[in-house]
Chains A and B, each alone.
Chain A
Amino acid sequence: MKNARDVVITGMGVISPVGTSITGLLEYLETCRSGIRQWESHYLTRKFPAATIPQSFEADFKRIELPYLDRCAQIAILAARQAITDAGLDTFEHEGPRAGLYFGSARAGTASEERWFEELLLEHRQTAKPFAVFSIMHNAPAAHISIRHQILGPVMTHSSACTSSGCAIGDGYRQIRDGYVDVAIAGGAEAPITASVLGAWDGTRAIATIDPEDVGLSCRPFSNKRTGLVMGEGAAFIVMESRERAERRGARIHGRLAGYGVASDGYHIGSPKMTGQAEAMSLALADAGMAPDEIGYYNAHATATKGGDAIEAQAMRLAFGAAADRIPVSSTKSIHGHLLGAASVLELIISTLSIQHQMIPATLGLEDIDPECSLHHVPNTPLRGYPIRSAMSFSSGLGGTNTALIVAKDL
């Protein structure tokens, strides 16, 4: 596939359990420090490990705005603002429909929805507050960002579970590459740490138990000791532009989005399939015009479920062949948990930072590698002074959608 236009990343922003700025995130990665804590709700007897951001963001907004803003929208607005500011931009009103916003979320206004259900079912209210619909709806975070920054082209919301922001970034990338828009803000947000979501996920039996010695070590991808995934909250965004636009305005370029692949399993609502995953990886490589051994780092989806990690390891071997033995692999979910719809974008940013800082992040808690997940793992300690030119970030979503994004050093 021939790229019509180069797409470059000129802005990055993050609000996450492992840092509420890009600098903060980098520090967590360099020290391989966990953002996983114990979480509990008065509705549930079980205590959960969860990657939470231990602060409120309400003070960042006017009180009159807050009834509209679920926590998911709040962190989305703040992370998008960081990315836009990082790109040296603010309003896009002069771009008209040539600026787009591509957002991904699996659940969006969960806490607001839970609150309305409390009012309906426990307090027996017949009518919701007038803000309820607007704080619950899935596209609310995207709409708030577009209103604040006057993004007047496509404002799209993707929801494909754990690949939501991967699809959003892929959509924006293709729109720039093919000439429909010149600049795109893309990312995702999730604030699912609520009793209704954790209780529902507990029903799948896929949630990790709290590590008895250190709650921060509760998510152990690829390990024989893995017990399941750890839910996380957070938001992350990137600004993408056509190269000519970025160079014309003298923007700092963090990296080039070199390839995107999306493919689906067509198999099972809750179980992944190796071939669908491998297809997405191969499509991304083909889109980038790269051979497998040109990838310098693979940021895995690996959520630390028994079945999922092993299937991904097989899929990577299928797509990468012999190169799979040489490419450093880690799952940074071991420190930031699973941000569901915001996972892909956070992990793409991490992959970009790994190129910029010549540092391969590690998988925390990986002392005892499951032979079924055998790859070139980076356990516990990041590789420093490790120059790479490109990285792949892979995501796999419940329902069977798989995305792979390749970021490359801009030469």
Chain B
Amino acid sequence: MDRTPDAIEVKIKEILNTEFGIDAEQITAEATMRDLGVDSMHVVYVMLDLEKALDVKIPLEELNLPKQVTVRAVAETIAQHLVAPK
């Protein structure tokens, strides 16, 4: 599966919508996780789902995401930190 920031952003939006019921229209690239009501545990859940979907390992401990992180920034950070497929 495509592991570019664009593809990861699409997948993040899909997970936030299907798993947590966040309105798809609210989940723009520039929306912050906090604005969407997403906390650090939800982000961990998203990461675990992404690992499965992309067949990769995401080193959560290295991501160091800021509190006001946007959907796009999460996608870009993940794309930078992907390690070899499991």
Contacts and interface: CB of A to CB of B under 8 A. Distances in A.
B21 interface: yes
Given A62-B37, A64-B37, A64-B38, A130 B22 contact: no
Contacts of B42: 64, 67, 130
A131 B21 contact: no
Contacts of A62: 21, 37
B1 interface: no
Interface in B1-48: 20-22, 37-38, 41-42, 44-45, 48
Contacts of B21: 62-64
Contacts of A63: 20-22
Contacts of A130: 41-42, 44-45, 48
Nearest to B17: A63
B44 to A, nearest CB: 4
A10 B37 CA distance: 34
A129 interface: yes
A28 interface: no
A131 to B, nearest CB: 6
A134 B38 contact: no
Contacts of B37: 62, 64
A131 B44 CA distance: 10
- By size class, the interface of chain B is 10 to 19
B20 A64 contact: yes
Interface in B37-61: 37-38, 41-42, 44-45, 48
Contacts of B45: 67, 129-131
Interface string A291-332: 000000000000000000000000000000000000000000
Contacts of B44: 130
A173 B14 CA distance: 49
Nearest to A65: B37
B19 to A, nearest CB: 8
Nearest to A63: B21
A64 B41 contact: no
Interface string A60-74: 001110011000000
A67 B37 CA distance: 13
A64 B44 CA distance: 14
B41 A134 contact: yes
Nearest to A134: B41
Nearest to B40: A130
A68 B38 CA distance: 12
B30 to A, nearest CB: 19
A379 to B, nearest CB: 49
B79 to A, nearest CB: 22
Contacts of A68: 41
A214 to B, nearest CB: 41
Nearest to A131: B41
A130 B45 CA distance: 6
Interface string A123-137: 000010111001000
Contacts of B48: 127, 129-130
A129 to B, nearest CB: 6
Interface string A34-77: 00000000000000000000000000001110011000000000
Nearest to B45: A130
Contacts of A64: 20-22, 37-38, 42
20 contacts: A62-B21, A62-B37, A63-B20, A63-B21, A64-B21, A64-B22, A64-B37, A64-B42, A67-B20, A67-B42, A67-B45, A68-B41, A127-B48, A129-B45, A129-B48, A130-B41, A130-B44, A130-B48, A131-B41, A134-B41
Of all A-B residue pairs in the complex, the 6 with the closest CB atoms, nearest first, are: A63-B21, A130-B41, A130-B44, A64-B20, A64-B37, A130-B45
Given A64-B20, A64-B21, A64-B42, 16 more contacts: A62-B37, A63-B20, A63-B21, A63-B22, A67-B20, A67-B41, A67-B42, A67-B45, A127-B48, A129-B48, A130-B41, A130-B42, A130-B44, A130-B48, A131-B41, A131-B45
